Amino acid sequence: MTLADVAQAAGVSTATVSRVLSGSRPVRADIARQVRTTADRLGYRGNGIARALRQQRTDAVGVVVPSILNPFFTALVDSIEGALHDTGKQLVLCDSRQDPELEAQHLRLLVERHVDGIVVSPCDATASIDAVSRTAALVPLVQLDRRVDVAETDWVGLDDDRALGIVLEHLHARGARRVAFVTSRMTNSSTVDRLRGFEDGVRRLGLSVVPDGIVLDDFSVDSGERAAGALLDRETDRRPDAIVCADDLLAIGVLRACHERGVAVPDEVQVTGIDDIVFSRYVSPRLTTLAQPTAQMAEEALRLLAQRAVGAARDAPTIRLALRPSLVERESTRGQA
């Protein structure tokens, strides 16, 4: 069942059928109707592969994330899928499982698949450099959230410096003075930027960091729980009065550790996260956190991709779009003083 079959059955040329079905050029109304009826009757479907080969465009975009199981990336993928669908494109989803090799392999496959563009959140700030820059040389590519510092690609993400500033100002205004920071190992850009933002904010606001107050593990509930354990099981004067977390998973772990020890949140210790994942609203106490504008991030990323797709802007200067986070005040920090 091909265009040619429809053309023959309708007694017209393949070009006419193509024009009718794609609407690419005007066709006499009665012929158009006739073609459409015939196509319908035969159950003609169209072949996106043949079209893609001819048009050099697949209407597919590849997305590579470190872990779809991380609720933040789930939300991001959801936003991207929605935005893509609005423009008639589809999403090829790849999970790098935090493995640079697997990530590189996925990128290679996406290039072979000739996707129209690639959105990637590189799992490792250094180990991902090669694959990302090689790929960017072949296909429009935009980095989202995490990035590697190679000059030649656009990036959309959170303004991490400002993010930590907002959190620390909030905590400071609510009476916090001796803080701790629970984060992941410094293998990705978000982590690095957030640590810098934390240190800048501490200095600026005249806060102090408790001894061994910066704990590095990975983005998971369990490691948040461990980290908080270490911060809470010590003499009162070395305990923090606020624990800032680099993401919500860690913060939820911290809340669990507090609950376990009967440490009152927010009265004894205030706790904050980043991302505003769905579950941050459902823990007790509900988590104060910084929401990432995932819908806007997705939209901007795809806009940049589309821009690079047209030859003109192919080697325009690259853009870094740092979006503003918004504080979601809930119950794990104190009310207005």
Interacting residues with DNA (CB under 7 A): 2-4, 11-16, 18-19, 21-22, 24-28, 31-32, 46-47, 50-51, 53-56
The reply to whether 95 sits near a second copy by the rule CB under 8 A is: yes
Binding to a second copy, residues 186-245 (CB under 8 A): 221
Residue 13 interacting partner from DNA, a second copy, none (CB closer than 5 to 8 Å by kind): DNA
Whole-angstrom Cα distance, residue 68 to residue 93? 9
Given 4, 15, 93, 316, the residue binding a second copy (CB under 8 A): 93
| Residue appearing with tokens 């690259």 | 318
Instruction: Give the shortest CB-74-to-a second copy separation in angstroms.
Output: 5
Given 25, 33, 40, 53, the residue binding a second copy (CB under 8 A): 53
Instruction: Give the shortest CB-168-to-a second copy separation in angstroms.
Output: 26
Q: Are 93 and 68 in contact (CB under 8 A)?
A: yes
The reply to whether 4 sits near a second copy by the rule CB under 8 A is: no
Whole-angstrom Cα distance, residue 258 to residue 293? 29
**In terms of CB distance, is 108 or 261 closer to DNA?**
108
Q: 314: phi > 0 → left, psi -120 to 50 → alpha, else beta; which?
A: alpha
Whole-angstrom Cα distance, residue 63 to residue 225? 31
Residue 274 in 3-state DSSP? strand
Residue 22 interacting partner from a second copy, DNA, none (CB closer than 5 to 8 Å by kind): DNA
What does the per-residue mask of binding to a second copy show for 284-323, with x meaning CB under 8 A?
A: x---------------------------------------
Instruction: Give the shortest CB-64-to-a second copy separation in angstroms.
Output: 11
**In terms of CB distance, is 9 or 323 closer to DNA?**
9
First to last CA, the chain: 72
Query: Is the bond leading into 285 cis (omega within 30 degrees of zero)?
Result: yes
The reply to whether 74 sits near a second copy by the rule CB under 8 A is: yes
In the DSSP assignment, the letter for residue 285 is: S
Whole-angstrom Cα distance, residue 126 to residue 189? 9
> What are 65's strand-pairing partners?
95
Q: Are 161 and 193 in contact (CB under 8 A)?
A: yes
Instruction: Give the shortest CB-106-to-a second copy separation in angstroms.
Output: 8
CA-only gyration radius of the chain, Å: 25
Whole-angstrom Cα distance, residue 61 to residue 50? 18
Summarize as ranges the residues that interact with a second copy (CB under 8 A): 45-50, 52-53, 58, 60, 68-69, 71, 74-75, 77-78, 81-82, 85, 90-95, 97, 102, 106, 109-114, 138, 221, 252-253, 256, 259, 278-279, 281-284
